[in-house]
Chains A and B, each alone.
Chain A
C-alpha cells in the first residue's frame, strides 16, 4: 500500500505542483493578513490595514483561483470529475465556501483601508471581521489539507 501511494503518473505532476504552490501561497497570505491585523489590535496602523487589504486582493484571491483551476485540472487528469470521491467533495466544499468568506474579508479590508487612507479610524470592527473570516477560512483549509493527504473515502 505504501508503495502504491508513492506511484503517480507524470502527467499529474505539473497540475499538482501548481495546486500546491497556489494552496501554500493562499495559506501564507491568509496567515500574513490574520496575524498582522490581529497583532495590530483594534486600531491597527494605516500601513497594516493596507497590507491586510493588499494581501487578500493581490495574493490570497489569485492563489485561490490557481488552487481551484488546478483542482479541476487534477480531477480531470485522474478521471475523478464524473463521480468524485468524498475527499474531493471536501475540497470543493471548502474552496467554494471559503471563496465567499474571502470575498467578504476583502470587501471589509478594502473599506478599512479606505477609511484609514482618509485619516479616519484605523479599521476597528472591520479589522476584527477580516481576522474572523480569515481565521475560519484557515481552519477550513486545515481540514482540506487533511482530506487531500489522507484521502478518506
Chain B
C-alpha cells in the first residue's frame, strides 16, 4: 500500500514538474503549439490534485508523519501558491495580456520549493 501511494504521489509530482518544464519553453520564447499547452495543462491539473490527495493520504498512513507537521503544512501553503500562480499564468497566456513570464517563474520556484520540502522534510 505504502509503495503504491508513494509511486503515485511521485508520479503526480513528475506531472507537475513536467508542466513547469513545458511552460518554461514558452517563457523562454518558444512556440510549442496548442496541443503541447493543452497536454501541459492536463498534466498540471491531474498532477496538482494527485500530489495533494496522495500526499495527505501518505501523511495519514505513515507512522512518522502527522498532517499538522510544519513541513507538511508548509508544503500545502507552497502548493496553493504554485497552483494559484499556475492557473493565473495559464489564463494570462491564453488572454495574451499580463506578465506571463513572471507568473510562470514564480510557479516554477514554488514547485522547486515543494521538492525541497519533500526531500529535506524540515522538522520531521
Binding site for B on A (CB under 8 A): 1-3, 5-7, 13, 16-17, 20-21, 23-25, 27-29, 31-32, 35-36, 38-40, 45, 47-48, 51, 54-55, 59, 142, 145-146, 148-151
Contact = CB atoms under 8 A, between A and B. Distances in A.
Contact of B22 (A31, A148, A150): A31
Contacts of B11: 142, 145
Contacts of B25: 32, 51, 55
Interface of B: 2-4, 6-7, 10-11, 13-14, 17-22, 25, 30-36, 39-40, 43, 61-65, 112, 115-116, 119-120, 124
B62 A35 contact: no
Given A3-B63, A27-B21, A148-B10, 19 more contacts: A3-B62, A3-B64, A6-B62, A6-B65, A6-B124, A7-B64, A13-B120, A16-B119, A17-B120, A25-B17, A28-B18, A28-B21, A31-B43, A32-B32, A35-B22, A39-B34, A39-B39, A48-B32, A150-B4
A36 B32 CA distance: 5
Given A27-B18, A32-B25, A35-B39, A5 B62 contact: yes
Contacts of A55: 25
B35 A150 contact: no
Given A2-B62, A25-B21, A47 B6 contact: no
Secondary structure of the A contact surface, majority rule: helix
A145 B14 contact: yes
